[in-house]
Amino acid sequence: MTAVAERPLLAGEDLRFFQAMRFHALQHQPYMASVLFAMVPIVSPGLGTFAVDRRWRLYLDLEVAREWGLVCGSGVLIHEAHHLLRGHHERAVRARVSDAHSALLWNLAGDAAINDDLVAEGIELPDGVLPVHFELANGLVEEQYYEALRAKRASFAEEVCGSGSGNLRGDFEVEEDEAPVIDEIDAAAIRERVRQEVLRRAKGQVSKGLERWADGRDAAQLPWPELFRRAVRQEIRTASGRLNRTWGKPNRRSSSKDGFLYPGTRRLGAAVAVVFDTSASMDQALLDAAAAELRGILRATKSKFIPVIACDGLAQDAKAVGGTELVQLVGGGGTDLREGIALAATLRPTPHLIVVLTDGGTPWPSAAPEGTSVLAVVIGNEGAIPTGKGIVGHRIPLL
């Protein structure tokens, strides 16, 4: 790795070109000023692109940037700034990105989520990764694109975006003490400044993806793993430790038991079903917040799919929903989630826990169905928190 002292300084024509790109970027997204000026530029000849590390150092191959031109170069600068703004390094940790392949998929997922927004705003990019390149829909969040790419089990060309994108640390990155850094406290302050700038703008003046980020609707608010351990009945806590006999997995000790075959064991997880309020009172902000909690449930249970029942006054048939899918929003009428809770209790296998995602404007049962717990998540400040035997209520703010 090249030491900082051996790298060309950002000066002269290089400095002026970088400043011109940054100025052009600010014309497109003035609310990104705090990020664009916070990044620490480091000239990196031969890199072939721009990249960021998790400490907000920006690596620049300015010869390639000149080939792109001022307009596209400023687009790439905005792209890298969004990796840092959206906390892709920290979110990669939460998404359990751990090896080179998963880091590449997360990097591509972040690129798709960012570029989808940039293209919608008319920002030019030299060769940006877009959802359509993977036959995926626009408008999803990074975690959804990541799970979709994992499910495809395909190989993709390597991306060089650095640890700031959630990828593995590149060999072009400097050591911690070789250049100025932005630590977690400073990064949080910068993100909050940008968040407030975005929220002050009228709807439609920024991309939908950035509005969702600023509203805090791209991540679950509740600590689902902790809730599954502490806030429900004993069935949930013990189910994750139970073992089930299966012939699909040979017993490791069969060869030492007189030639007889014995079944292996498979660990059982806690069965969870979700009732998703799709009544007319659930506006888009509430639906987005509920969908974020649903993604949190999927991650906490480590489930590829969870049965989800869309319900207003009537309960729709359960649908297996994974991390890359959206809930089929069938409904729009009145609200009686007792119908959805009752239907969820009839599913097979019988759920140990029924999670209800709602604004709370519904009658509640006096008790949870027999053998099942109900965790009612009330979004916003209007609906009542339910009480009853086997029912636990939580309220989360609508950010």
Cβ atoms of 166 and 110 closer than 8 Å: yes
pLDDT digits (tens, 9 = 90+) for 100-117: 999 999 999 999 999 999
Cβ atoms of 91 and 145 closer than 8 Å: no
Q: Are strands 263-267 and 319-322 parallel, antiparallel or unpaired?
A: unpaired
**Is residue 289 domain-shared with residue 173, that is, in the same domain?**
no
Give the total number of structural domains in the chain. 2
Is the residue at 234 inside a domain? no
Task: Measure the CA–CA gap between 39 and 180, rounded to whole angstroms.
Answer: 10
Q: What is the pLDDT of residue 261?
A: 64
**Is residue 320 domain-shared with residue 389, that is, in the same domain?**
yes
**Is residue 303 domain-shared with residue 205, that is, in the same domain?**
no
pLDDT digits (tens, 9 = 90+) for 42-95: 999 999 999 999 999 999 999 999 999 999 999 999 999 999 999 999 888 877
Is the residue at 247 inside a domain? no
**Is residue 12 domain-shared with residue 126, that is, in the same domain?**
yes
Cα-Cα-Cα-Cα torsion 215, 284, 94, 144, nearest 10 degrees, comes to: -130
**Is residue 199 domain-shared with residue 323, that is, in the same domain?**
no
**Is residue 61 domain-shared with residue 166, that is, in the same domain?**
yes
Q: What is the pLDDT of residue 249?
A: 59
Q: What is the pLDDT of residue 72?
A: 96
Counting residues of the chain whose pLDDT is more than 70, the rounded percentage is 82
Is the residue at 228 inside a domain? no
Strand partners, 393: 376
**Is residue 171 domain-shared with residue 291, that is, in the same domain?**
no
Choose the weakest-confidence range: 109-118, 191-200, 277-286, 352-361: 277-286
Nearest to 332 by CA among 284, 389, 371, 260: 284
Mean pLDDT of 327-341: 78
Task: Measure the CA–CA gap between 387 and 381, rounded to whole angstroms.
Answer: 16
Range of the domain at 133: 4-215
A 10 A CB-CB count for 178 gives 15
Q: What is the pTM of this model?
A: 0.59
Strand partners, 57: 40
Compare 262 and 355 and report the one with higher pLDDT: 355
Mean pLDDT of 287-299: 81
pLDDT digits (tens, 9 = 90+) for 219-275: 566 666 666 655 444 444 444 444 455 555 566 655 555 556 666 655 444 588 999
Mean pLDDT of 375-385: 85
Is the residue at 162 inside a domain? yes
**Is residue 208 domain-shared with residue 275, that is, in the same domain?**
no
Final residue of a domain: which of 180, 199, 215? 215
Is the residue at 114 inside a domain? yes
Final residue of a domain: which of 171, 200, 215? 215
Q: What is the pLDDT of residue 2?
A: 38
Choose the weakest-confidence range: 7-21, 220-234, 303-317: 220-234
Q: What is the pLDDT of residue 227?
A: 66
**Is residue 381 domain-shared with residue 297, that is, in the same domain?**
yes
Final residue of a domain: which of 215, 243, 260? 215
Task: Measure the CA–CA gap between 393 and 375, rounded to whole angstroms.
Answer: 6
- Domain holding 341: CATH number? 3.40.50.410
**Is residue 161 domain-shared with residue 42, that is, in the same domain?**
yes
**Is residue 298 domain-shared with residue 364, that is, in the same domain?**
yes
Is the residue at 189 inside a domain? yes
Q: What is the pLDDT of residue 38?
A: 96
pLDDT digits (tens, 9 = 90+) for 27-37: 999 999 999 99
Cβ atoms of 94 and 133 closer than 8 Å: no
**Is residue 187 domain-shared with residue 296, that is, in the same domain?**
no
Is the residue at 224 inside a domain? no
Task: Measure the CA–CA gap between 61 and 364, rounded to whole angstroms.
Answer: 60
Is the residue at 332 inside a domain? yes
